Structure 1
């Protein structure tokens, strides 16, 4: 019977099978190196941003090579302010850009405006009109006034848009339509203000083109209106 008692001892090697599962549990640890791949992407982003910043300053450097449309001492017309004089050309850094600016003085409004060279066309800034343009202005003033029966608020908007267009012919239309000769009904207060604003804007440019002082230019325009 003693040899028969040794049979349970044969089960010990079978008990070692669960221990074989421990190496299999280490397989997920192999995924850790693979997770490091996305870490390469953040290093590329700062490099791209750093390269983009110097590139944004390139357009500002080109402005100096362009031929400027105006010089110091030139008279110009800005649509919403009328006649002004270029008193200087300067450079200033604005929002990280080195801009070249026209410095314009408007005597009638006692103000100074700075216009970037790159924005001249968009702003409507232009040279003083030619004599041919002033002849068109004179022809417009001699024309028949267009009386409208629409509400004043709507007409005022139309007149103001013409005054701020910077076009001397359009401004002459406002002067012509709001002018009142002797014997005609008087202007209302609002009409008178609009008329004077348009007349002043037109006279300032007319005087420069015709080489007259403001008073003489005003008298000449009003004599044309009177016929």
Structure 2
């Protein structure tokens, strides 16, 4: 029997992955690979990337989380509107910090990445890695906001643009 999961998911549930955004649990079942003892896997589908992942049940807590609530989504937009931080002038430092913020899976952190990079974009000061991080943080935020607020991706993008100024 596998260890008890901190994240409790069932078929049809939505999950958030820090690289692929919001996905759906397609199934949870026992599988055996290469003659090893069978263990439980979750099959997850991420529509934006048209990607299916099979994750061992033992890795779910480390890999995915439940999407934020609608209350937290509204709080995120309010905090994004009020946030006055500035990106580092050193591009390598900025790139490392942005990647770490995105990898942590906390939407409040990658919302800061998004807003800081939008500021740089308005100044025509984005480097290639900045563009990649801006695209990634935008996609993750749009997925999360659309799911949590029950909006279309275009509506979520509009809310995000409005909050970032």
TM above 0.5, yes or no, is: yes
Kindly indicate whether residue 96 of structure 2 is the aligned counterpart of residue 157 of structure 1. yes
- Equivalent of residue 109 in structure 1, options 49, 56, 62: 49
Shift of 1:125: 1.3
Q: Which runs of 5+ in 1 are unaligned?
A: 1-61
Match of 1:142 in 2: 81
Match of 1:223 in 2: 162
Alpha-carbon distance change, 138 to 97 in structure 1, aligned in 2, over 3 angstroms = same
Kindly indicate whether residue 126 of structure 2 is the aligned counterpart of residue 188 of structure 1. yes
Match of 1:203 in 2: 142
Q: Which runs of 4+ in 1 moved over 4 A?
A: 64-68
Aligned counterparts of 1:137 and 1:200: Cα–Cα separation in 2: 15
Contact 2:21–2:139 (Cα < 8 Å) also in 1: no
> Larger relative contact order (C-alpha < 8 A, sep ≥ 6)?
2
Higher normalized helix content (fraction of residues): 1
Paired positions, count: 163
Q: TM-score, normalised by structure 2?
A: 0.86
Q: Deviations over 1:89-133 (max 9, x none)?
A: 122113622111110011122211111112222x23111111232
Match of 1:85 in 2: 24
Q: TM-score, normalised by structure 1?
A: 0.64
Aligned counterparts of 1:97 and 1:127: Cα–Cα separation in 2: 29
Q: Give RMSD over aligned pairs.
A: 2.5
Spell out the pairing of 1:1-227 with structure 2 (5 A cutoff): 62-63=1-2, 69-94=8-33, 96-121=36-61, 123-180=62-119, 184-190=122-128, 191-226=130-165
Contact 1:159–1:174 (Cα < 8 Å) also in 2: yes
Aligned counterparts of 1:119 and 1:112: Cα–Cα separation in 2: 16
User: Which structure has the larger Rg?
Assistant: 1
Contact 2:7–2:65 (Cα < 8 Å) also in 1: no
